[in-house]
Amino acid sequence: MAQSRTDFGAWMQARQQDVEAVLQAVLPAAGVSPSRLHEAMRYAVLGGGKRVRPLLAYAAGEAAGADAAHVSRVAAAVELVHAYSLVHDDLPCMDDDVLRRGRPTCHVAYDEATALLVGDALQSLAFHVLSEQSLCACPADQVEMVALLARAIGSRGMAGGQAIDLASTGQELSLPELENMHIHKTGELIRASVLLGARCGDGEASRLGALDRFAKCAGLAFQVVDDVLDAESNSETLGKTAGKDARQCKATYVSLMGVARAREFAAELREQALQALLSYGLEAVRLRELIDFIVLRKH
Amino acid sequence: MAQSRTDFGAWMQARQQDVEAVLQAVLPAAGVSPSRLHEAMRYAVLGGGKRVRPLLAYAAGEAAGADAAHVSRVAAAVELVHAYSLVHDDLPCMDDDVLRRGRPTCHVAYDEATALLVGDALQSLAFHVLSEQSLCACPADQVEMVALLARAIGSRGMAGGQAIDLASTGQELSLPELENMHIHKTGELIRASVLLGARCGDGEASRLGALDRFAKCAGLAFQVVDDVLDAESNSETLGKTAGKDARQCKATYVSLMGVARAREFAAELREQALQALLSYGLEAVRLRELIDFIVLRKH
């Protein structure tokens, strides 16, 4: 077990470095005009975060026997989308947050107008990274990959989840309503990360169905653990403003279930995620290790 | 001439109705959750605007013998991008504008957070529309079409133009600097509209080169005429706040050249645009009529 844990740590670090290198390469240099925008885009994306979505893409790509270089592009694309969503989510008209990944948020470090454009341009860049080079054997599949990402992050996906979140601030939510918000706000992009990684490989429909079930559980587990950490940690450990949900009267798994039950729920979701991978052998080891990482992380 | 003018009017109206129908269909109904977001997206997109970018896509598609249904999707995609850029551009942290297409801007009619998400979701929807169905004979070409749009609207395209615009407010710009801003801010999406329309058809490289030259002139001419109209019109005719550039001390073709020379310049660009189409016959008649429409319009 100690052996496998070390292995996972090394695997994770190598993939984090790999996606960082791709992000470095696809983001225009800070010297390229318009330089303030490019500098701010690099600030928002590089050198921070756990890169959970890229890691899920890599792990799913390995489970599907995908070309590593192709999966790297997908990993970068989903991280660009994630970074764009954080920059816009932190804006004064949204969560009005000043701390992210242990540093001032983008609109604090630059200005609101620049942060708005950073998010806009990062979304475009994600689609560019997904379409600039061939990423799978069949170009028609790649067109479908673009559609998959677009659907996952649009008004019926991630952006829709943000809108549900806005509408529910200060409202009493039921557990199904809270789950519906998270399935959209964070779950859809996590699902897309897994499915896009897998689509670089064999892309067999039944296997994709299993990965989809895995991804849904992983996405929800990620959010439940996020809520527990937000309630229990301080801002320094977390690298973002802690205890914010309670102060903003936002419903969370902790506010609706209490910490102990929320932890149990995360463990159940981990179990379901592992169940979904039963038809997989050793090729899915990283996905199994990742669900442990998601559920057992401390920040 | 009167005959051809009537034809163009009817052609334009039919295409405007066509793109309106596609936009109606691809935008989620206002009743679909999250309804406030969907209602605001429809408010921002439907029932307004000259639809110049869609018209250029249709005209280029006809010049390239493209399937009309495919071109309709492209036309909708570029209009969605245009609508997203207007919604974000009107936000308080950008141009802080209250009037657009004769109605309150999106953040005035709804709220800032919703307007932010409207723009974000419209961008995603544009990529979805471009990738959801097959749009040309060869899927690899469609992947390239996605890359073309992503490049045109990213940090080295439209969003970059907005950043250049931000950086130059209150600055004295030279004519080349002003041109550089507009090539990015409005020119790149107009270019993409023409090229994407054409890519639904034969897509021969030399023909695309000619259309690209046409599109560059058309994009710049559009902006020069916009500046003239902004200086000379009132808000009612224009449907958006008039005289804004002068009040914000923004450099324009009128402030740098004067109205008379700016009009001459627009006429020269029209001439160059027509020159670019010399190798085309009757199949490019709508493109020729459109450049006249762009240069001679009154609002």
A34 preceded by cis ω (within 30°)? yes
What are the tens digits of pLDDT across the range B22-74? 999 999 999 999 999 999 999 999 978 899 999 999 999 999 999 999 999 99
B202 pLDDT band, cuts 50/70/90, is confident
User: What is the percent of chain A with per-residue pLDDT over 90, rounded to a whole number?
Assistant: 83
Greater pLDDT, A39 or B4: A39
Q: Please name the residue of chain A whose CA is at the shortest distance from the CA of residue B27.
A: A155
φ/ψ region of B96 (left if φ > 0, alpha if ψ in -120 to 50, else beta) reads left
Query: Cα distance from A139 to chain B (closest Cα, Å)?
Result: 5
User: What is the percent of chain A with per-residue pLDDT over 70, rounded to a whole number?
Assistant: 93
3-state helix/strand/coil string of chain A: CHHHHHHHHHHHHHHHHHHHHHHHHHCCCCCCCCHHHHHHHHHHHCCCCCCHHHHHHHHHHHHCCCCHHHHHHHHHHHHHHHHHHHHHHCCCCCCCCCEECCEECHHHHCCHHHHHHHHHHHHHHHHHHHHCCCCCCCHHHHHHHHHHHHHHHCCCCHHHHHHHHHHHCCCCCCHHHHHHHHHHHHHHHHHHHHHHHHHCCCCCHHHHHHHHHHHHHHHHHHHHHHHHHHHHCCHHHHCCCCCHHHHCCCCCHHHHHCHHHHHHHHHHHHHHHHHHCCCCCHHHHHHHHHHHHHHHCCC
8 Å CB contact of A36 and B116: no
What's the whole-number mean pLDDT along residues A246-261? 86
DSSP string, B157-211: THHHHHHHHHHHTTS---HHHHHHHHIIIIIHHHHHHHHHHHHTTT--HHHHHHH
Please report where in the chains the tokens 């296997």 appear, as a residue: A207
Q: Which of B117, B138, B154 sits opposite A124 (nearest CB)?
A: B154
Q: Are the CB atoms for B41 and B80 separated by under 8 Å? A: no
What are the tens digits of pLDDT across the range A191-232? 999 999 999 997 677 788 999 999 999 999 999 999 999 888
Flag whether pLDDT at B1 surpasses 60: no
Q: Give the up-direction half-sphere exposure of residue A136: CA atoms within 13 A in the CB hemisphere.
A: 28
- Point out which residues pair with B103 in neighbouring strands: B100
What are the tens digits of pLDDT across the range A54-108? 999 999 999 999 999 999 999 999 999 999 999 999 999 999 999 998 899 999 9
Partners of A149 on chain B (C-beta within 8 Å) are 127
Residues with Cβ within 8 Å of A274's Cβ and at least 6 positions away in sequence, in order, are: A288, A291
8 Å CB contact of A155 and B125: yes
The CATH class that applies to domain A2-296 reads: mainly alpha
Q: How far apart are CA B108 and CA B80, in angstroms?
A: 20
Flag whether pLDDT at B2 surpasses 50: no
What's the whole-number mean pLDDT along residues A145-161? 98
8 Å CB contact of B163 and A32: no
Flag whether pLDDT at B3 surpasses 60: no
pLDDT reported for residue B184: 96
Q: How far apart are CA B239 and CA B241, in angstroms?
A: 7
Flag whether pLDDT at A144 surpasses 80: yes
8 Å CB contact of A125 and B150: yes
Flag whether pLDDT at A1 surpasses 60: no
A242 pLDDT band, cuts 50/70/90, is low
What's the whole-number mean pLDDT along residues A152-175? 94
Domains of chain A, by residue range, sit at 2-296
Average pLDDT of chain A is 92
| A/B interface, count of CB pairs below 8 Å | 160
Partners of A111 on chain B (C-beta within 8 Å) are 93
> Best mutation site among A143, A169, A184 for testing chain B: the one with the most B CBs within 10 Å?
A143
8 Å CB contact of A140 and B144: no
What are the tens digits of pLDDT across the range A263-290? 999 999 999 999 999 999 999 999 999 9
Q: Which of B113, B147, B155 sits opposite A93 (nearest CB)?
A: B113
Flag whether pLDDT at B249 surpasses 80: no
What are the tens digits of pLDDT across the range B211-246? 999 999 999 999 999 999 988 876 566 666 666 666
Query: Cα distance from B77 to chain A (closest Cα, Å)?
Result: 12
What are the tens digits of pLDDT across the range B87-128? 999 999 999 999 998 899 999 999 999 999 999 999 999 999
Q: Give the up-direction half-sphere exposure of residue A290: CA atoms within 13 A in the CB hemisphere.
A: 31
pLDDT reported for residue A48: 81
User: What is the percent of chain B with per-residue pLDDT over 70, rounded to a whole number?
Assistant: 93
The beta strands (E) that lie in chain B are given as 99-100, 103-104
Q: Which of A94, A139, A157 sits opposite B143 (nearest CB)?
A: A139
pLDDT reported for residue A298: 80
Residues with Cβ within 8 Å of A201's Cβ and at least 6 positions away in sequence, in order, are: A61, A63, A64, A65, A66, A67, A136
